[in-house]
Amino acid sequence: PMGSERMEMRKRQMSMTQETPGSAEAQHSTANRGSNACCFCWCCCCSCSCLTVRNQDEERARRTSHELQAEGIPNCEESPAPTLEEVNAWAQSFDKLMLTPAGRNAFREFLRTEFSEENMLFWMACEELKQESNKSVIEEKARLIYEDYISILSPKEVSLDSRVRDVINRNMLEPSQHTFDDAQLQIYTLMHRDSYPRFMNSAIYKNLLQSLSEKSIEA
């Protein structure tokens, strides 16, 4: 039958290829040298452009991974454990949640699960900038905030509309404590409207509330 003849021919071809790997590779190299020489050449494999690009990509990936590991997750604010009254108050308004370090820490933990922690980090960086009075320190912190949260090249870029971005770009010509005020308000509003309702229904909030309620009953 034709099927078994083809099988035999394929076996013989495979056998010949295994017996003479050098000649097969040489033929493959010659056949492809014209169209993609750098991927198959023997004489310049150490300096060909495709390998150089590949090595650069691998090095960039290793460097990025190392930087992310070194950076890790930013530390939470120092704060005492929240009381049951405080946690209940978080449900009354977003403002009350954001007023306390414990509230911000719990909310940050939730934002981290939604991959939007940068919103809280940006808001906190803006608050810190407002406390500065030294001109050079203000300029440096404003530059870092811009690079970390405003630049489209940053993995932590926050979502801002074009109007607010234009305001920031103008303000960066002469940075001050209030360079990012409009952007901070927009992100605060975004967290309030978008993330806060989900936080109140999240396991993070409900488990914390339940734990404190049980401790209160035991006491």
Give helix then strand counts, H and E, for the chain: 12, 0
Confirm whether 44 is domain-assigned: no
Confirm whether 41 is domain-assigned: no
Percent residues over pLDDT 70 in the chain: 65
What is the full DSSP assignment across 165-216?
Answer: HHHHHHHTTS--TTTTHHHHHHHHHHIIIIIHHHHHTSHHHHHHHHHHHHHH
Distance of alpha carbon 197 from alpha carbon 192, whole angstroms: 8
Confirm whether 124 is domain-assigned: yes
Instruction: Quote the distance between the C-alpha of residue 71 and its chain's center.
Output: 11
> Tell me: the pLDDT tens digits for 71-130?
444 567 888 899 999 999 999 999 999 999 999 999 999 999 999 999 999 999 999 999
Residue 24 has pLDDT above 60, yes or no: no
Indicate the number of domains in the chain: 1
Confirm whether 156 is domain-assigned: yes
Q: Which domain holds residue 136?
A: 84-218
Residue with the bigger pLDDT between 70 and 194: it is 194
Confirm whether 69 is domain-assigned: no
What's residue 15's pLDDT?
A: 55
pTM of the predicted protein model: 0.66
Residue with the bigger pLDDT between 15 and 143: it is 143
Confirm whether 48 is domain-assigned: no
Confirm whether 73 is domain-assigned: no
Confirm whether 145 is domain-assigned: yes
Residue 216: pLDDT band (50, 70, 90) is confident
Domain CATH for 96: 1.10.167.10
What's residue 75's pLDDT?
A: 64
